[in-house]
Chain A
């Protein structure tokens, strides 16, 4: 694990403890304010790291199976605790399976998102749940949460999102290939936020200085851009990700630019609720489809790539609506299912290339 030396350095040089975090949404601001390093575990991709994957049935997604194998193999032993947000039924079960029946021995933290968050009850619960998590994190960090530091952490993550949004929205004027851009954005999954911010600022300076080598804009929606070969194939075929709605990336970029509430807890709750609509939080389909249409419109996307992890119920439930939405707008859609495999199958490569040939008209019209 290349992150391991980094995590150790953070501990040795800055005295920071670290927390492994399962997908997708969690109040990272709390961790930052308590000087805890968040290190996200999206699978990890590739073959499971140990045979513990066999403790979960093969009809469960590879994010969850790989995560158990990874934890059980000691892959995350360098961190001090693991946080399992309530993303779906499978991750909910993983939290109890790993911590109660073996695989994860260090502290287990959970975080529940209220569903249908527009209700007063849901908002009250969210604030209470944030407090509850903060209490657990305080115990882990061995310090009290200072409200001023929380306010500062909220401002820091707001700024990070400002840059992430700028890079994603100005994508067409950024002379980077998709693999490089995603590598940059996804380093935020484990870098100390201030370091991530510095990298984002540097990249932002390149905005408007060129174009991606590929020229056909597509909108991508899905879980996580793995394997990253998918981006290379896309670029190689002449298309690039002009608009992003990956759960791991775009769906966590808050674009709400209202002044934050003075009470940091209210501000934190607002930030949680202001993220783009995500099916793992059972967002209403209406606003989500309008969000996707907006992304397609602003980026001039000529095609939509739906890239989901097999068996991922939250993503799968929205696929019919996504199909309906873009069919009505006459924008072609490619549906691609993966299992976090290390390599793309030949068939997947063919599908992506054929899709780009189709939307570009390359060799299409006889």
Chain B
């Protein structure tokens, strides 16, 4: 791994991601762990491991909620880093939907990877990955096979409540009234996708949507988003690492690769 040129750290609310990239922005190494409350110690260990492999000091860029607790790093917000990371991965401007555990962000990326505009969910969890996690947990629906379950549902059972607590009770009563489970799960995805679509208002028609964040690994959500936005959705490679890659790119010496 002699080509490593920069390290990126993304300390999110649920997972901590550390990556190494080479001078062209290619991903060389990665560490992903659940976020430890003692962030400093965890980051120091993970960065140390990556440095050891690289065999030398590397500049560090940090993002995520814990970004200011990463010693010696250049701290930038997730918005800027996701834009950079997504731009490098997709190779063009566009609109990025990033769905993480506690946040959903919609970022419009300009022709040189800059942020043109962004929107985030309001502070309740209704538009986030946590919403799905809570309710799917309640229904005891496993993550594996979720996409197939939803794809196989004949019709979505409408879930109107957008508040997580209300939706939970609504879903319970739907189950009690013998509505099909796959339809309810599909309904949940439709409800969540419509919240995200509301955030993505004003996105130029016909634009392909880029998607990142842990929730992008849920095929059912990707499909629902495609439907809600009525346009193609392209999941970036290693979607949960986009922010960390962007953070690393921000400290890459010399002109950034296009």
A contact set with B: CB distance below 8 Å: 332, 337, 345-347, 350-351, 353-354, 357-358, 361-366
Contacts and interface: CB of A to CB of B under 8 A. Distances in A.
Interface residues of B, number: 28
B113 A364 contact: yes
Interface in B102-136: 102-103, 110, 112-118, 120, 122-123
Contacts of A365: 110, 112-114
A337 B112 CA distance: 30
Contact of B120 (A332, A347, A353, A362): A347
Interface string B63-85: 00100000000101111100110
Interface of B: 65, 74, 76-80, 83-84, 87-88, 102-103, 110, 112-118, 120, 122-123, 249-250, 256, 258
Contacts of A332: 117
B142 to A, nearest CB: 30
Contacts, number: 59
Given A337-B122, A364-B83, A366-B88, A354 B77 contact: yes
A351 B115 CA distance: 13
Given A361-B114, A364-B115, A350 B79 contact: yes
B169 to A, nearest CB: 18
Contacts of A362: 76, 80
Give the 3 A-B CB pairs with smallest separation, nearest first: A366-B113, A354-B79, A364-B114
Contacts of A364: 80, 83, 113-115
Contacts of B80: 354, 357-358, 362-364
B46 to A, nearest CB: 21
A354 B78 contact: yes
17 contacts: A337-B122, A345-B123, A346-B65, A351-B120, A354-B79, A357-B80, A358-B114, A358-B115, A358-B118, A364-B83, A365-B113, A365-B114, A366-B87, A366-B113, A366-B114, A366-B256, A366-B258
A351 B118 CA distance: 9
Contacts of B117: 332, 358
Contacts of B115: 354, 357-358, 364
A357 B116 CA distance: 11
B249 to A, nearest CB: 7
Pick from A337, A345, A366 the residue with the most CB of B within 10 Å: A366
A63 B8 CA distance: 42
Pick from A347, A353, A358, A363 the residue with the most CB of B within 10 Å: A363
A43 B116 CA distance: 35
Contacts of A351: 120
A350 B123 contact: no
B113 A358 contact: no
A270 B51 CA distance: 70
A358 to B, nearest CB: 4
B105 to A, nearest CB: 9
A361 B250 CA distance: 12
B78 A347 contact: no
Given A351-B120, A364-B83, 18 more contacts: A347-B120, A350-B65, A350-B120, A354-B78, A354-B118, A357-B79, A357-B80, A358-B80, A358-B115, A363-B74, A363-B76, A363-B80, A365-B110, A365-B112, A366-B88, A366-B112, A366-B113, A366-B114
Nearest to B82: A354
A337 B102 CA distance: 17
Given A347-B103, A366-B249, A366-B258, A358 B79 contact: yes
